[in-house]
Amino acid sequence: MSRVREEARAPLLVQVAPRLVAALLVVALAAASRFGELALAVVLLGVQALAAFAPRPWEERAFVVRPDKALPVVTAGAVTLATTLAPSVLDGAAGHVRVAGSGSLAGAGVGLGVLVIVSFVTRLSRPVAGTVPALADTLLCGVLAVLACGWLAAAGSRPAPLVVGAVLCVVVLVLGRRGYVAFWLVTAAALAGVVVAASEGLPVALGAGALAAVAASARLGVAAGERWGALPPGRWAIGCVLPVALSGPVVFAVSVVGLV
- Residues in the chain, pLDDT under 70: 1-15, 60-63, 90-104, 127-130, 157, 230-232, 234, 260
pLDDT (0 to 100) of residue 130: 63
pLDDT (0 to 100) of residue 102: 47
The full length of the chain comes to 260
Q: Environment class of residue 157 by beta-carbon count within 10 Å: exposed (0-12), middle (13-18) or buried (19+)? A: buried
Segments making up each domain of the chain, as ranges: 3-257
Whole-number Cα distances in Å, 60 to 64, 83, 133, 160: 10, 35, 16, 39
pLDDT (0 to 100) of residue 180: 84
Give the tens place of pLDDT for each residue, 28-44.
999 999 898 899 999 99
* Residue 8 contacts residue 144 (beta carbons within 8 Å): no
Dist. CA 31–CA 250, nearest whole Å: 19
pTM for this prediction? 0.86
pLDDT (0 to 100) of residue 165: 92
pLDDT (0 to 100) of residue 150: 92
> Dihedral, CA atoms, 209, 212, 214, 219, nearest 10 degrees?
-140
